[in-house]
Amino acid sequence: GKADTILRGKVVSVKLSQMSQSVATGLSEEVAYTVTLDWDWVDVRTGKSITARKGFAASGVVVTSRSQAEPLDLARFEVTQRLADDIVANLQADW
């Protein structure tokens, strides 16, 4: 069968922001990876929006210092999980 509703989303920005830096080298030690998106939950039968959010954002932090460097993929994964959890929570609250 066909879905009764559809969730549409668009990534509007992805930013890396320095959170801290080494006093000795001036290089970043922690970086925040922030994704902002707009999404809309639509009733397919009526075409009307059930709920929508603009500027919905989540961040993940990675350690970038040489001694403990973490791949940026860890922050991407954290942000993806956080956004998914937050969107589902919003959908449940508005339903």
Which tens digits make up the pLDDT trace of 5-53? Answer: 999 999 999 999 888 877 887 777 888 999 999 999 999 999 999 999 9
pLDDT at 83 over 70: yes
pTM over 0.85: no
Asked if 33 and 19 count as a contact pair (C-beta separation under 8 A), the reply is no
On whether the CB atoms of residues 54 and 38 are closer than 8 A, the answer is: yes
The phi-psi region of residue 26 (left if phi > 0; otherwise alpha if psi is between -120 and 50; otherwise beta) is left
Domain ranges of the chain: 5-94
